[in-house]
Structure 1
Amino acid sequence: QLLQPLLFLSIFLSVALFLISEIVVPHTSSRCNEIWRKDVRKRHSRSFYGRNNIWYKSRSAIYWFGKLASSGTVAHDVSIYYFSSNFRLVRRIDARLAVWKNGAWHLKDGVELRLEKGKGYVSRGFRKMTVSLPETPQTFAEVEREPEELNYWQLKRFAERVQEEGYDARRYLVDLNIKLAFPFIVVVMVLIGFPVSMKIERGGAPVAVSVGVGLCFLYVFVLGVTRAIGFSGVLPPFLSAWLANIIFSILGVYLITLVPR
């Protein structure tokens, strides 16, 4: 009877913790990391804006920019390489200038090279050309963000994009599952803390609090270990994120059975 309202309260707090991690944490983490990077370590922004000699791998192509203007809407000395599924070059576009306007990239003064059946590579020059690319100037605003700077859906889309580009997204998938698993630490701690507090008689509240803090540290340690194992690929992302919850929940249920009715 005492445990039931505590469980309901812990579930409510877990949902609240998840919402905070989705709404508040990404913004504050992003701001803290930006201050640390620019003001403390004196490093430039992670944006591509204003940089030279940029390589970027898209879903269907690889881009090279001689220089991307600080506005992000103008690129100089652009090359776009399109590849087939077996990574054979099927099209290449070189242009002196690329300008983002009206939702598309407009190329100027360039050459297009195409692989045509029975003819091999055929080239033609152009003064102007409009190409439809999935990337917008906003795409190049951030090279890579830390998982804590993204909410669940942003991290999910980012992991999917990394996979589509042929990279290993295991780390992001592990952290994606942890975003769901970690808020339930409240429920897990109630399952363990309740029977522990019932069993502790000598020392009273101070001992119970000390044990609770110790269990929290142990939980975080186990979660860190399973997270690292997940990064290595030994455990699947889902299991590496939820294993700590599973272990401590089973322990909590077992301890509850030992409490006198």
Structure 2
Amino acid sequence: MILLDRYLFRQFAIYMLLVMASLVTVYLLIDFFERIDDFVENQKSLALAAKYFVFKIPLIIEQLTPIIILLGGIIVLGLLNHRGEILALKAAGIHTFRITFPITGTAVVFTLLTLGFAEWIVPPTTANTNVIFYEQVRKEKPRGTLRNNRFYYKDEQGFYSFEKHELSNNRFDFFVFTRWDENYGLDTFLTADYAFWDNGTWTLKNSRIKQKTKDGNYQVTSYAETGFPLIAQPSDFFIPEYKIDEMSLSELFSLSKTHKGLRGTEAGLKLLERVSFIFLGIPLLMLGLPLLLIAHQRWGRDLSLAIPLSCGLAFSAWGGWSVLQSLAKAEVVNPHLAAWSVHLVIVLTGTFLILHEDR
């Protein structure tokens, strides 16, 4: 059995890598023709374009993981079936479930590796692609940045930071504002438990304001509630939507736990979306493998039918999963149900078909 497991593991790994290389190449070609006009129109070099596409490969692999796993498994089992190896294994008393076990196990390992990829490799490379395309090519500058669960923003008046925000009432917790004079000396240092924006004015709660006086000293004043003439507005602070794609899984988890407002909700939904999508390949494989065997038994066809059938299966699963994600964002469906219900249905169906094959 160990020899069989090694053989299937090696075959599956090889074909997954081949499928990955093929799909990534196709993806890059399509993306190249979609993006190259932006580089040409903005007179950017081909070297910068090449750098952009190279940095995008990790994100592409994450996005293609389910179909890579599905097609890799289908091709391996299809070739084994075509060569009569499946029939020989069954004649030796080895059940279908046992034959597919090392393939599924390899898919689990690949999925876990992709999770590590999504945690450590995808965020920095995605950040590089966004800097190249949005800032260097399209000249779009992000208004604010997010580091260690604090938002930071700088304008001509000074430097702002805060930890949490509630968009529903324009409230910003643990608010800090700093301003320097022309000699880069501290002019104003303001801290508040929270600040909120209403009718064009800022109101600070439980604040301390340290300001430089005319004689060069500093005066510190505490207020239970006070206003302050800040020129920034809430819309100035927020980072572009694509910035959330630069966050690692652990950063999304931390943000979802520490922020109770819209930002935290978005992070939680994004985390569930990314993790559940990465794991979608395992259920698809568990359903695709018995479907291939059924296609061979009923119509005598292996890969010629199994591959298009698998693509249709993947598209249908992705479509249903995407609809559920949209419903979760609209607060119509529970986010966890939206993330994992498709997986559960496919796993149960695939397990039933595999066990049925052994009867």
Question: In structure 2, what is the Cα distance between the partners aligned to 1:254 and 1:176?
Answer: 30
Unaligned runs of 5+ in 2: 1-97, 145-151, 165-172, 196-202, 226-237
Specify whether residues 147 and 256 from structure 1 end up closer, same or farther in structure 2 by C-alpha distance, changes over 3 A only: farther
Provide the TM-score with structure 1 as the length reference: 0.69
Larger deviation, residues 234-243 vs 13-22 = 234-243
Residue in 2 that maps onto 1:14: 111
Q: 1:148 to 1:28 in 2, by over 3 A?
A: same
For 1:171 and 1:33, the matched residues in 2 are separated by: 19
Number of residue pairs the alignment of both structures matches: 221
Question: Per the alignment, in what secondary structure is the counterpart of residue 233 of structure 1?
Answer: coil
Q: In structure 1, what is the Cα distance between the partners aligned to 2:331 and 2:181?
A: 37
Distance 2:271 2:181 in 1: 32
Deviation of 1:55 (Å): 5.4
Letter of the 1:35 partner, please give it.
I
- 2:103 maps to 1:3: no
Matches within 5 A, 1:204-243: 204-243=302-341
Instruction: Give distance in 2, aligned partners of 1:30 and 1:114.
Output: 40
Residue 68 of structure 1, CA deviation: 11
* Aligned twin of 1:80: 191
Task: State the match for 1:193 in structure 2.
Answer: 288
d(CA) in 1 for partners of 2:181, 2:254: 25
- Output aligned runs, 1:57-96, within 5 Å: 57-58=162-163, 60-65=173-178, 77-83=188-194, 89-96=205-212
**Which residue in 2 is equivalent to 1:138?**
none
1:178 and 1:242 in contact (8 A); partners too: no
Q: Match of 1:254, as an amino acid?
A: F
CA contact (8 A) 2:119 2:250 kept: no
After superposition, residues 144-183 of structure 1 pair within 5 angstroms as 146-163=243-260, 166-167=261-262, 169-183=264-278
| Secondary structure of 2:280 counterpart | helix
Partner SS state of residue 44, structure 1: coil
Query: Could you list the runs of 5+ residues in structure 1 that have no partner in the other structure?
Result: 98-107, 116-120, 122-141
Specify the code of the residue in structure 1 equivalent to 2:353.
Answer: L
Query: Which secondary structure does the structure 2 equivalent of 1:160 belong to?
Result: helix
Greater fraction helix = 2
Deviation at 1:76, TM superposition (A): 5.6
Q: In the TM superposition, what is the alpha-carbon distance from 1:88 to its structure 2 partner?
A: 8.3
Larger strand proportion of the pair: 1
**CA spacing shift, 1:225–1:57, aligned 2, 3 Å:** same
Return the alpha-carbon distance in structure 2 between the equivalents of residues 185 and 83 of structure 1: 41
2:148 alignment counterpart: none
Secondary structure of 2:259's counterpart equals helix
Cα deviation for residue 173 of structure 1 reads 0.8
User: 2: distance between equivalents of 1:76 and 1:88?
Assistant: 19
List structure 1 segments (4+ residues) > 6 angstroms apart after TM superposition: none
Matching residue of 1:124: none
1:113 equivalent to 2:193? Answer: no
Aligned-residue offset at 1:66: 5.7
Bigger relative CO (Cα 8 Å, ≥ 6 apart): 2
Identity of aligned residues (%): 17
- TM (normalized to structure 2)? 0.52
